């Protein structure tokens, strides 16, 4: 079980491909079904009893801080006594989470953000993912795979659905047509990492993408395992993605909703 494991969520990027939304708020605060996608990601982990989060803030990080400062009261019915400022709460859901909201710099790259969290992470195995993607991933199975492989890092490998119909050609004829097939050329990184603290030693320069030098070096040293996830995985990179995720949620067909109300 992963019940005592910390979860790092990288939530500091600019989200430039979603400028229509991110001019006012950071990308992880874009809402799916009336809740920020960051909340959805946290709910995925919490479904597996991972409830301590370290959120790496950057661009408009104050927006995320304010959300969590107000979270308790906004999620409950409240009575305010204006004479003395007393506030009483009733009803609502009481999620038992701990969220460490850490400013890691406006322009810091992903490697630097992770490196700056070293003291927060401590000396144990930890999880890490990005603040803009959801999946119906079994966190317990991911962790078991990491431990079985015995490597310093494990990345979740996914094969996303193509945005276009797939054609198989024979001469001038189409022999097979598949509507939005999975990309068959190979696997890509879907986030949802499990990392040993020694991985932070691979980040020598804070001005580096975690996905470049550190992960490449881990792979070259055969210290990067892959957990193959054949289920649902969806990043939120474009307005089309936002619309897709909201549509799935509205129809009650959100595969990443692994928790019970």
Cβ proximity of 158 and 233 under 8 Å: yes
Distances (CA, A) of 144 to 1, 2, 141, 188, 227: 8, 9, 5, 21, 10
**What number is the average pLDDT over the span 223-246?**
94
- Position 160 scores a pLDDT of 79
CA atoms within 13 A on the CB side of 117: 32
More confident position, 185 or 213 = 213
Q: Please give the CATH number for the structural domain made up of 6-157+187-250.
A: 3.90.550.10
- For Cα atoms 165, 159, 214, give the angle at the middle one, nearest 5 degrees: 140
First to last CA, the chain: 21
pLDDT at 120: 97
User: Using CB atoms within 10 A of its CB, is residue 17 exposed (0-12), middle (13-18) or buried (19+)?
Assistant: middle
Longest Cα separation, the chain: 82
Q: Give the pLDDT score at 180.
A: 59
How is the chain split into domains, by residue range?
A: 6-157+187-250
Mean pLDDT of all residues in 238-242? 93
Q: Which residue has the tokens 């479904």?
A: 47
């Amino acid at each position: 079980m992963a019940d005592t494991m910390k979860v790092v969520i990288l939530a500091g990027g600019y989200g430039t491909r979603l400028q229509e939304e991110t001019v006012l708020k950071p990308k992880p605060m874009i809402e799916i079904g009336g809740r920020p996608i960051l909340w959805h990601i946290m709910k995925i982990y919490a479904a597996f009893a991972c409830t301590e989060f370290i959120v790496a803030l950057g661009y408009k990080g104050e927006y995320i801080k304010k959300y969590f400062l107000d979270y308790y009261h906004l999620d409950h019915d409240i009575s305010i006594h204006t004479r003395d400022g007393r506030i009483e709460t009733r009803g609502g859901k009481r999620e038992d989470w701990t969220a460490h909201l850490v400013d890691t710099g406006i322009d810091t790259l992903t490697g630097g953000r992770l490196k700056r969290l070293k003291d927060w992470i401590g000396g144990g195995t930890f999880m890490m993912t990005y603040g803009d993607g959801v999946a119906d991933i079994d966190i317990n199975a991911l962790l078991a795979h990491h431990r079985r492989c015995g490597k310093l890092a494990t990345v979740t490998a996914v094969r996303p659905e193509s945005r276009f119909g797939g054609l198989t050609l024979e001469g001038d004829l189409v022999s097979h047509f598949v509507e939005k097939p999975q990309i068959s050329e190979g696997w890509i990184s879907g986030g949802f990492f499990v990392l040993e603290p020694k991985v932070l030693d691979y980040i020598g320069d804070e001005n580096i993408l975690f996905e470049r030098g550190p992960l490449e070096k881990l792979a070259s040293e055969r210290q990067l395992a892959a957990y193959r996830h054949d289920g649902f995985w969806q990043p939120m990179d474009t307005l089309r993605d936002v619309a897709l995720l909201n549509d799935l949620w509205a129809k009650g067909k959100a595969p990443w909703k692994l928790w019970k109300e």
